[in-house]
Amino acid sequence: MEGLSQFVARNDIEGLWEAVRKATRDPREGIFGPSSISWKVNREAALFLGAGRASLLQLAHPWVATALDQHSNLRSDPLARFHNTFRVVFTMIFGTLDQALAASRHLYNLHTRIQGNLPQGVGAHQRGSPYQANEVNALVWVYATLIDSALVAYSAVLPALSEIDRETYYSESRTMGALFGIPATALPASWSAFEAYIDAMVRSDVLGVTSTSRDMAHRLLHGKGSWVPIPRWYRALTSEWVPERLRGEFKLEREQEDIKSAARARENMPGTYSHLPPPLRFVGPYREAQHRLLRKDTDILTRLSNRFWMGQTRMMFSELV
């Protein structure tokens, strides 16, 4: 899907917001609702398993890696990056229509301030060439890493979605793509086309790992800058899920013990996960949405889960313009 650079202008995103508003049947349920495949997949705490994979795939795009290096605190506070990502994504998925649109406005306004020049050349990208966060092709890649990694994590602990459900999941996710600022014409038309896009990107020179992105990836996988320890099995599983070409460029060396650790995790996770109680298995934003639809206040376990995932006790954004 990579092509000519296309900046998402304010009138472009406003048109997408209006289209999402018109397509939403029940604003209280949000853009998807409880009967959607998107709720079924994204309510699972297992999504945490795919967070590392999604982050590394994003760092493989020089624009994204440079933007994170120059305009975020990923190096010093990776947990804040984790919270920021899931605060936006979960609010888009489980929030009311107004909350989802507020998350989209927040993301768009944040991205308008993120631009600069590449300090290193790699692949198709020349040193000194400009980048900007609100560019359609870069947004498509970030969106794709989240959508794809969610299903990788989901199928690691639960039965994989049927072909019909995968198509439905992807069709629904295109609405979330609009909230990222991505017009429908810039997205693959079907799940099979989406898989082909991922494969083509991984083989293309649009992606490429620099010394900076490699260092950021290793810091992330080892929890540097954070008090949260990253277990060996998680690093091993993440490395296994990264495409071979990028695994090599990131220099993710896999010792025999790493291979065994990943295998043990894959074998043991489904059984362990199936016995988790709902407050641990289902993410706080999903439980908050359930409470909202029942017109109930959230309980303390939901608020604690929200704090783990989003760094705050409920779905909200203060930036509404």
pLDDT number for residue 265? 95
> Considering the entire predicted model, what is its pTM?
0.94
The answer on pLDDT for 318 being more than 80 is no
Identify whether the C-beta of residue 90 lies closer than 8 Å to the C-beta of residue 309. yes
| Separation CA 275–CA 105 (nearest Å) | 38
The answer on pLDDT for 87 being more than 50 is yes
pLDDT number for residue 320? 39
The answer on pLDDT for 56 being more than 80 is yes
Return the domain boundaries, the chain. Answer: 10-278
Residue with tokens 């508003």: 21
pLDDT number for residue 293? 97
pLDDT number for residue 319? 45
Give the Cα-Cα-Cα angle 162, 87, 154 (nearest 5 degrees): 20
Phi, psi of 182 (to 5 degrees): -100, 120
* % the chain with pLDDT above 70: 97
Identify whether the C-beta of residue 285 lies closer than 8 Å to the C-beta of residue 94. yes
| Separation CA 74–CA 222 (nearest Å) | 13
| Separation CA 176–CA 78 (nearest Å) | 24
Average per-residue pLDDT in the chain?
A: 94
